[in-house]
Amino acid sequence: MGPPRIELLRVKNSLQTQLSLLEKIQEIDIEVTRIGKERESYPKKKELIDEEVSRLEAEVDSMLAVKDELERQRAATESEVTVWDEKIKKNEERLKDIKNEKQYKAIGKEVNTATKKKTEMTREVVRIGKLLETKCDELDNTKERLRQKNEECGAIEAEMNQLTAEWEKVLAEKKTERDAIVAKVSPDILRRYELIKDKRNGTGLVVARDGTCQGCHMSIPPQLYIQLRRGPDELIVCPHCHRILYVDKRISV
Ligand SMILES: [Zn+2]
């Protein structure tokens, strides 16, 4: 056993250490990405609720306009009922001092017409009243939905504020932890990891198990796998997905 063998062993050991440091960095990166995604999801959730609140507010406004219009129509129809009613009373009064048959018939006809109109308008008042009742119920329901949405909006804001404080604390901790590990990793290895990670959906480093890359689930050529198991003296990447491969000694050996 001459010095070159010792040198090779040192390289192997140091590569093994580098890979396990990289594994820790990746764990941190995955957690940081997860927090980032969770964080991003909140403004979107809030935005959806805000949109629903605006939609319901507009709905309440237009329903209030409909309600106002129906109330106006009902009041107008009610005054028409009063007008026809007064006409009936006036003509009935006139009938008392009628002198001839012709006049009597004419006034009688007017009373009939006014009575018909009054009945018609009274029915219309009832119809509008029923419609108004339905519209008021719908309005109440919409107002209640709006109240609930506003409540939801407040709740998500409170949740977001609380979580933001927690996320910031965890992210600061993770950064400190990562910086400390990065200081021990060779810049070349770190750069390769970062490059692959960016191209490969956040994972630059994967375990090889049972002759298969656990990143893309493709078989690793046997010669390469043997080299990995033995402890490589240089970085080995998956020939299919190009991620850095390592063997988890806790599982594979
Ligand atoms: Zn692969």
Distance between CA atoms of 225 and 234, rounded to whole angstroms? Answer: 13
**What distance in angstroms lies between residue 118's CA and the mean position of ligand 1's atoms?**
87
Distance between CA atoms of 51 and 196, rounded to whole angstroms? Answer: 39
Top pLDDT among 52 and 230 is at 52
What's the pLDDT at 18?
A: 92
**What distance in angstroms lies between residue 37's CA and the mean position of ligand 1's atoms?**
25
**What distance in angstroms lies between residue 32's CA and the mean position of ligand 1's atoms?**
23
Question: Considering all CA atoms of the chain, what is the largest pairwise distance in Å, rounded to the nearest integer?
Answer: 147
Element (H, E) at 141: helix 101-182
Name the average pLDDT for the chain. Answer: 92
Distance between CA atoms of 97 and 101, rounded to whole angstroms? Answer: 12
Distance between CA atoms of 70 and 66, rounded to whole angstroms? Answer: 6
Split at pLDDT 50, 70, 90, the class of 194 is: very high
Split at pLDDT 50, 70, 90, the class of 109 is: very high
Two structure tokens written together for 99: 């002198």
2 pLDDT exceeds 60? no
pLDDT, one tens digit per residue, over 55-67 is: 999 999 999 999 9
C-beta of residue 67 within 8 angstroms of C-beta of residue 139: yes
Neighbours of ion ligand 1 (CB under 5 A): 213, 215-216, 238, 240-241
pTM over 0.75: no
Tell me how many degrees the CA angle 18-13-206 measures, rounded to the nearest 5.
45
**What distance in angstroms lies between residue 169's CA and the mean position of ligand 1's atoms?**
34
Strand partners, 205: 244
Q: Which of 60, 121, 56 is nearest to 88 (CA)?
A: 121
Q: Give the DSSP letter of residue 133.
A: H
User: Helix axis angle, 3-96 relative to 187-199, nearest 10°?
Assistant: 40
Average pLDDT for residues 223-235, to the nearest whole number?
88
**What distance in angstroms lies between residue 211's CA and the mean position of ligand 1's atoms?**
11
Split at pLDDT 50, 70, 90, the class of 40 is: very high
**What distance in angstroms lies between residue 205's CA and the mean position of ligand 1's atoms?**
9
For the residues of 31-42, what is the DSSP string, one character each? HHHHHHHHHHHH
Contact partners, residue 7, CB within 8 Å, separation at least 6 = none
Fold entry, domain 39-181: Helix Hairpins (1.10.287)
At 200, give phi and psi (nearest 5°): -110, 50
Split at pLDDT 50, 70, 90, the class of 8 is: low
What's the pLDDT at 95?
A: 85
